[in-house]
Amino acid sequence: MIDLDHNATTPLDPRVRAAMVELWARDDLGNPSSPHGRGRAAREVIEAARRRVAAALHTEPLGVTFTSGGTEADNLAVLGAARALREQGRPCGVLTSPLEHPAVGAAVARLEREGFPVERVSVDAQGRIDPDDLAQRLRDRPELGLCSLAAANHELGNAYDVAAFSAALRAVRPQVLIHVDAVQALGKVPVSLTEWGVDLVSISGHKIGGPVGSGALVHHRNLRVEPMLCGGQQERGRRGGTEGLWAIHGLGVAVELAVAEQPSRRATMVARRAQLLQGLCARLGARIHGDLEHHVGNTLNVAFEGCAGELVMMALDLEGIAVSTGAACSSGVLQASPVLRALGQSPQRALEAVRLSISASTTEAEIDAVLAALTDAVPRIRHAASKETDAS
């Protein structure tokens, strides 16, 4: 199998697996909330992971709240922060974009149904966001108190200048809370709470070679968020429930590796992406969606005129090649991508899109094999589609 769907998930890094297996072999670990020796041993595992994540993302250990993954981290940031702002009597409306992952988009939509003010900034045909437009939206609507944007788009692979967003927003309202979904950014571009100048950052383990079921919301240590899970005081009251010890341990190792190796991983991915892009354009005349200048280095969103993306994905799957047509959270739903619709693509053109996402382990030979498979499949799909059109 050739995997070009790394934005959906990544294989467990062997070094992460080894660290988790070593922990599984221990028999001295209890409930991390218990005060006895077994509980204290488990607590130290969690706190060691917390220190690793905090150091990697430039915050304090008490500013790391572990979650079950990126979706929960995004939900906790958006729902929890907005509701906490309302409880404090502060502006609690949300400023966001139409390009966000469903984990953010659906959370914002829920707040909107609950009566929270919501403003969505405009994007251009490449999915770019103007910091000045963000600032103007905040200036025009004093009821907005939270901004939630992604550092990297999950479908397009666009990388955004988060520090510029933050500077523009704080020039208008210094106390505005800024949340960044860094799930698709970590390990591909530098991620830093302090250097970005933001308040909350969401990450996910299985996007960086860590275990499924692990994630974190990174934030300022005393930031208030309303918990979504009740029944316990774990994670300083922000996230009830007994901590997933082994997943958290694996996340800590994965984050440390992703940050340390980010420059070398990106260099390799950029080279493979350039090889893929050149072949797609030269041999297949592909239409490319997104910002070709500012990108995370591993993602291409492409379309082939007259070819349904779903059929292209199925044809490649038969050849042992994994790609996708959008966010894995939305798989099984045949509808035009909201991200591409926000870029101005018609429903028909949006349904032609295929997302190709590589990793640092993707080889030149694998890219050549994918290009060969597409060179065979795309004309066949076009021919079948034209025959169907003629028959109708």
Domains annotated on the chain, with CATH? 2-8+262-384 (3.90.1150.10), 14-260 (3.40.640.10)
Categorize the per-residue pLDDT at 41 as very low, low, confident or very high, splitting at 50, 70 and 90: very high
307 is a catalytic site residue: no
Q: Does residue 19 register a pLDDT over 80?
A: yes
Mean pLDDT of 307-326: 95
Cα–Cα distance, 15 to 12 (Å, whole number): 8
Q: Give the pLDDT confidence score for residue 391 in this predicted structure.
A: 61
The confidence band for 383, taking pLDDT boundaries of 50, 70 and 90, is confident
pLDDT greater than 70 at residue 183: yes
pLDDT score for 171:
98
Task: Please report which confidence band the pLDDT of residue 230 belongs to, taking 50, 70 and 90 as the band edges.
Answer: confident
Q: Predicted confidence band at 131 (pLDDT cuts at 50, 70, 90)?
A: very high
Is residue 195 very low, low, confident or very high in pLDDT (cuts 50, 70, 90)? Answer: very high
Q: Give residue 205's pLDDT.
A: 98
pLDDT band at 333 (very low <50, low <70, confident <90, very high): low
Q: CB-side exposure of 202: number of CA atoms within 13 Å?
A: 29
Asked which of 58-72, 201-215, 295-309, 322-336 is least confident by mean pLDDT, the reply is 322-336
Q: Whole-model pTM?
A: 0.95
Compute the average pLDDT of residues 344-372.
97
pLDDT in tens, 155-180: 999 999 999 999 999 999 999 999 99
In this prediction, residue 392 carries a pLDDT of: 60
Lowest mean pLDDT among 35-44, 61-70, 318-327: 318-327
End-to-end CA distance of the chain: 37
Contacts of residue 137, Cβ cutoff 8 Å, sequence gap at least 6 = 95, 119, 121, 144
Whole-angstrom CA distances from 323 to 187, 283, 314, 319 are 20, 19, 9, 11
Cβ burial 134-157 (10 Å sphere, 16+ → b, else e): bbebbeeeeebbbbbbbbbbbbbb
Q: In 3D, which of 339, 352, 285 has the Cα closest to residue 120?
A: 339
Q: Which of 92, 147, 230, 329 is catalytic?
A: 329
Looking at residue 87, its pLDDT comes to 97
> What does the alpha-carbon distance between residue 184 and residue 104 come to, in Å, rounded to a whole number?
13
| pLDDT averaged over every residue in the chain | 95
Distances (CA, A) of 271 to 151, 323, 365, 370, 384: 21, 19, 13, 15, 34
Share of the chain above pLDDT 70, in %: 96
Is the pLDDT at 389 greater than 80? The verdict is no
Q: What is the 3-state secondary structure (H, E, C) of the chain?
A: CEECECCCCCCCCHHHHHHHHHHHCCCCCCCCCCCCHHHHHHHHHHHHHHHHHHHHHCCCHHHEEEECCHHHHHHHHHHHHHHHHHHCCCCCEEEECCCCCHHHHHHHHHHHHCCCCEEECCCCCCCCCCHHHHHHHHHHCCCEEEEEEECECCCCCEECCHHHHHHHHHHHCCCCEEEEECCCCECCECCCHHHHCCCEEEEECCCCCCCCCCEEEEECCCCCCCCCCCCCCCHHHCCCCCCCHHHHHHHHHHHHHHHHCHHHHHHHHHHHHHHHHHHHHHHHCCEEECCCCCECCCEEEEECCCCCHHHHHHHHHHCCEECECCCHHHCCCCCCCHHHHHCCCCHHHHCCEEEEECCCCCCHHHHHHHHHHHHHHHHHHHHHHHHHHHHC
Residue 57: predicted pLDDT: 96
Q: Residue 326 pLDDT > 90, yes or no?
A: no
Tell me what pLDDT residue 184 has.
Answer: 98
